[in-house]
Structure 1
Amino acid sequence: MRMSAEHQRYSIENQAAAIEAYAMRHAMHITRTYMDEGRSGLDAIGRAQFRKLVADVVAGDVDFGAILVLDVSRWGRFQNSDESAYYEYLCTRAGVPVIYCAEGFDNDGSPFSVLLKNLRRAMDGEYSRVLSAKVSIGQMRLARLGYFQGGTPGYGLRRRLVGPEGEDRGLLMRGERKRLQSDRVVLVPGPDAEVSVLRRIFMEYVNGRSHLEIAKGLDADAIPSESGRSWTRGMIRGIVSNERYLGTLSYNRRSAKLKRPQVLNGHSDWVVTKGRFAPLIEPGLFVRAQGALARRAGWSDAMLLQALRDVFARHGRVSAALLRSDSEMPCARTYLDRFGSLPEACLQAGLSLDRDYGYIEGIRQHRALARQLAIDLSQCLQSMGMHVSASGSTSLQVAGLRVRMSALRCNVDARGQQRWRLGPGATRDVDLSVYARIASNSPAPFDFIVLPAESFSKLPASCARSAGRKFDEFQVQQMEQVALRIVALGSWGRANVLSPVKSR
């Protein structure tokens, strides 16, 4: 069962009652229930019970003979109808058919039922697209009327709840949301003390102080930020560039619809509303701040290299930490974007390096190898009939799983033994990490460790060439075995699972 809070008809209780009634009419007994509450049906990601259902069926770890779902839309409103069919096929192939209780056809594989089912899948996907478009139109209309459409208000601003006729319903505190669909949210100036801090920030910035210096000054005066944490350069930059302090609201600068990646919209798609409240910052002061921002952002390559020479002259070396501590210097990321790396920028500036940075090239090679291995894995999975989408240079989404590929460099410990360290970063925000282990004398991996995220904390942080018994169940030799392991571990989820009751 699945409920996305879109309509009371599809509440979990209503679905359960309809499915139970169907089971009684057809002499079936409910043995397990899989349900995802408040989950979208656009894809399988995030629907843990749906993924678990299909995983259990594929693995044969079930005590039922059929899956009962209210209707096709509860199986999912997938934007690609083949994805819905693929998940159902996995269950059917394992001998566990999917039965739609409230549809006007029997899911018996006949041409008529196949035609109707595919039509319903397409209609359900189109319903989501149309609904998304309507919601977007409604939100843009409200934005044009000056209503705040979500997010944090910003330092020195507050969210006020108003009724349909504009009646004041009070301020919304941090983390609070409106209760009634007819209510609206507007932005209003915050406490006078915060407005005074805003003006201080703008004045100090136009007078030449850097983002970092302003942040340190606010911390020194024990002035809390909007989040209560210490002030940062990014917070200050966000404030001095935020046109909300002129009473101007902008909406739809970027968007992410139907679970797709976020995109930046063109200026013609923006919704800009001016004069919604009195400016917190004088327009002239705001314009001066934007000019200061533009001047400080205009670092040419020659200026960047000269800045490195100045740092070297003062400290006798150059490092990312020194750049961070110097409020007048651009950050190391700027040098990475312009020159490929900070050491390369130092070489172009004619500076001698305090160490051999040749290892950086090795890191680049391993990252490039990880990207190629991710491509190879994707092709291998596709040859097995799996639908694969890339969610990053080394990340894949397949069979409802988020998979990340990493190439592990060989390190030598104090005893001269080769070891491979499993970085915890590779398991962040993923369901499955694939570690390709590379020997020191070979550019190709000699084996792979396929590790579910929940197993990472149970294993040592590094392993030797013979990984040991703790790694045995995760270790494979070939890319094809990696793909098969992913297929076996793949999971999707949702629905009531039923087993027919035998007649006596």
Structure 2
Amino acid sequence: MQSEQLRVALYVRVSTEDQAREGYSLDAQTKRLTAMCKVRGWTIADVYRDEGCSGRNTDRPEYRRMFSEIDRWDALLVLKMDRIHRNSVNFARMMEVLNKNGKGFISLNEKFDSTTAMGRFVMDIVQRMAQLESEQIGERVKIGMAKKAKSTGEPMGSPDPYGYEYCSGKLVVIESEAEVVRRIFDMYGSGMSMEAIACELSAEHIPTKKGGAWCRQTVRCILRNPLYAGYLRWDGMVRPGTQAAIVSEEAFESANGRGTLCRRRPRYTAAYRPRNRPSKAIPSMLRRRSWRTTASRRITRSGQFMWTTVSRGGAPTVQHTAG
């Protein structure tokens, strides 16, 4: 696009703390941007003025109006980059919208112009920095939630589970729904399948948490969730929670197996087993009395267990491996 044909949208903003600064008033910003358009020969499509609005979010009336009228202008012009955004993630999202619609972005003070090669290079760096910030925030949130789960036993802020509701950050039992949860465990304990339980609840017009019909997966989620026994599951670990239990521990383990609520660490996988925990017992052939042998065990470099048998009569050594 040629500069003399460029239609620009002027965006000016002041927050409460900026209003006291000299040179940051809406009129001062508009005056400098208008002067630049006059020098460059650009046409001013409109001036969008947000007064008393924070740059840390996009909840600004003139900002929203400007993007609703995006077809009226070819480039967005601001005095400084922090006039449009103070959050790098929001800035990256804005640039994505501008690029998708073929619009440019120009910042007067930083000499930033996305219509040039250097401007596009700087824009790419800004977007990568925003991605890094977003990923780091996610990592910190996960670490914080893991610490909270281990130390406090409080819920992790998921939507209201069936049978409970959040009240001041705590899970409180809804007795009408709790009765349905107890019925589900009783029916499953009596031998009914999950499909049959879902059909019976739907036939009785009992709504789910979201008001829909029951299905096998909904019933399964309730039966497998240790929340109803007073526990919380997080990252493969089951720990006591602070919420009131709806069913007893015995009822929950009857539906899920003994020891389900005692697990404190993730289950071992084939890729990792503690060195003091053999993967397999001594092969059955080594336990036969007719062999009259003694057996010893050692661990190979590949992680296998090597069982060595020596006949009491002095027969040659026989080795067996167990993965």
Displacement of 1:25 after TM fit? 1.5
CA contact (8 A) 2:106 2:113 kept: yes
Call closer, same or farther: CA 1:218–1:113 in 2, change over 3 Å: closer
Q: Which amino acid aligns with 1:249?
A: L
CA contact (8 A) 1:201 1:214 kept: yes
Q: Which runs of 5+ in 2 are unaligned?
A: 1-8, 10-14, 19-23, 38-43, 51-55, 259-323
Question: Which of 187, 190, 193 matches 1:207?
Answer: 190
In the other structure, the counterpart of 1:288 is 254
Once residues 227 and 217 of structure 1 are traced to their aligned partners in structure 2, the CA distance between those partners, rounded to angstroms, is 18
- Alignment pair present for 1:68 and 2:77: yes
Aligned residue for 1:276, secondary structure, equals coil
Call closer, same or farther: CA 1:76–1:216 in 2, change over 3 Å: same
Displacement of 1:205 after TM fit? 0.7
Call closer, same or farther: CA 1:20–1:76 in 2, change over 3 Å: farther
CA contact (8 A) 2:166 2:172 kept: yes
Q: Decide which structure has the larger Cα Rg and report it.
A: 2
Q: Which amino acid aligns with 1:216?
A: C
Aligned residue for 2:113, secondary structure, equals coil
Displacement of 1:240 after TM fit? 1.1
Call closer, same or farther: CA 1:34–1:90 in 2, change over 3 Å: farther
In the other structure, the counterpart of 1:22 is 29
In the other structure, the counterpart of 2:160 is 153
Aligned residue for 2:217, secondary structure, equals helix
CA contact (8 A) 1:146 1:273 kept: yes
Once residues 76 and 50 of structure 1 are traced to their aligned partners in structure 2, the CA distance between those partners, rounded to angstroms, is 18
1:194-343, aligned counterparts within 5 Å? 194-251=177-234, 253=235, 267=236, 272-291=238-257
Q: Which amino acid aligns with 2:46?
A: T
Q: Which amino acid aligns with 1:24?
A: K
Once residues 227 and 247 of structure 1 are traced to their aligned partners in structure 2, the CA distance between those partners, rounded to angstroms, is 23
Deviations 1:270-323 (A, max 9, x none): 6x431423432122221221259xxxxxxxxxxxxxxxxxxxxxxxxxxxxxxx
Aligned residue for 2:46, secondary structure, equals strand
The sequence identity of aligned pairs, in percent, is 23
1:390-401, aligned counterparts within 5 Å? none
- Alignment pair present for 1:136 and 2:142: yes
Displacement of 1:245 after TM fit? 0.6
1:397-436, aligned counterparts within 5 Å? none
- Alignment pair present for 1:190 and 2:174: yes
223-232 vs 66-75, greater mean Cα deviation? 66-75
Once residues 127 and 99 of structure 2 are traced to their aligned partners in structure 1, the CA distance between those partners, rounded to angstroms, is 12
Once residues 124 and 97 of structure 2 are traced to their aligned partners in structure 1, the CA distance between those partners, rounded to angstroms, is 12
Once residues 87 and 215 of structure 2 are traced to their aligned partners in structure 1, the CA distance between those partners, rounded to angstroms, is 43
Call closer, same or farther: CA 1:245–1:85 in 2, change over 3 Å: closer
Aligned residue for 2:245, secondary structure, equals coil
Deviations 1:147-205 (A, max 9, x none): 323332322222121xxxxxxxxxxxxxxxxxxxxxxx1223322x4323222211111
Displacement of 1:9 after TM fit? 8.5
Once residues 124 and 10 of structure 1 are traced to their aligned partners in structure 2, the CA distance between those partners, rounded to angstroms, is 25
Call closer, same or farther: CA 1:228–1:110 in 2, change over 3 Å: closer
CA contact (8 A) 2:230 2:242 kept: yes
CA contact (8 A) 1:75 1:84 kept: no
Q: What is the aligned-residue RMSD (CA, Å)?
A: 4.8
Displacement of 1:108 after TM fit? 8.6
Q: Which amino acid aligns with 1:67?
A: L
Displacement of 1:76 after TM fit? 8.4
Deviations 1:397-439 (A, max 9, x none): xxxxxxxxxxxxxxxxxxxxxxxxxxxxxxxxxxxxxxxxxxx
Aligned residue for 1:202, secondary structure, equals helix
Once residues 227 and 140 of structure 2 are traced to their aligned partners in structure 1, the CA distance between those partners, rounded to angstroms, is 27
Q: Which amino acid aligns with 2:156?
A: Q
CA contact (8 A) 1:76 1:84 kept: no
Once residues 128 and 10 of structure 1 are traced to their aligned partners in structure 2, the CA distance between those partners, rounded to angstroms, is 27
1:442-481, aligned counterparts within 5 Å? none
Q: Which runs of 5+ in 1 are unaligned?
A: 2-7, 12-16, 41-46, 57-61, 162-184, 254-266, 293-504
CA contact (8 A) 1:34 1:50 kept: no
CA contact (8 A) 2:198 2:216 kept: yes
CA contact (8 A) 2:194 2:216 kept: yes
Once residues 124 and 107 of structure 2 are traced to their aligned partners in structure 1, the CA distance between those partners, rounded to angstroms, is 13
Call closer, same or farther: CA 1:34–1:124 in 2, change over 3 Å: farther
Q: Which amino acid aligns with 2:191?
A: G
Call closer, same or farther: CA 1:227–1:126 in 2, change over 3 Å: closer
Once residues 50 and 34 of structure 1 are traced to their aligned partners in structure 2, the CA distance between those partners, rounded to angstroms, is 13
TM-score computed with the length of structure 2 as normaliser: 0.50
CA contact (8 A) 1:245 1:280 kept: yes
In the other structure, the counterpart of 2:299 is none
